[in-house]
Amino acid sequence: MLLLINIDGGSRGNPGIGASGVIIKNEQGKILLKQGLFFTKCTNNQAEYNALKLALISAEKLGGSVLKITSDSELLVKQFNGVYKIKNPDLKILMDEIKTLVKNFKTVTLGHTLREGNSEADEICNLTMDAGKEHRLKNGQIYNLFQDISLKNIKIKTQKEEPKQLELFEM
């Protein structure tokens, strides 16, 4: 099944509170899932990478086989596609995890869009950061903003204790 996915990540303070946002649609453009992932402290790049990781995990649970993912992070897109090297050791670890997850799909493409073309995923990030700032979310907690009722309930396990640095998102 083809899934169209937009991802975004952000942090207020860089590092500071942050979130990853994912919106997944089917081929007809019907929204299947909107999810955020909250962090008490992360960099913008860590949030962007974790958005991709969350998208891959959620897409697999939805039964996706061909993924067309869009991000407004030129750095993430170019590093994922091998155009830029990854120098940051924390991001190398996350990219290794992402590349392992990619193997579960027939095809995964990651393309770049301008920020204006990624407003839905950006909104999810901001709503997730706001909810975390209001102490409604804990570090590493998933924030389900929407899930199509025809889908089985998707549950993503997170650690109950504070994750270690670099282990921002554990499944």
CATH number for the domain harbouring residue 87: 3.30.420.10
pLDDT per residue as tens, the chain (171 positions) = 999 999 999 999 999 999 999 999 999 999 999 999 999 999 999 999 999 999 999 999 999 999 999 999 999 999 999 999 999 999 999 999 999 999 999 999 999 999 999 999 999 999 999 999 888 888 998 888 886 665 555 454 443 333 333 334 443
Number of domains in the chain: 1
Q: What is the pTM of this model?
A: 0.87
159 inside domain: no
Secondary structure letter of residue 9 according to DSSP: E
155 inside domain: no
Reference 65, options 112, 92, 99, 102; nearest CA is 102
Domain of 7 in residue numbering reads as 2-147
84 inside domain: yes
Rounded Cα distance between 157 and 76, Å, is 25
Rounded Cα distance between 1 and 15, Å, is 37
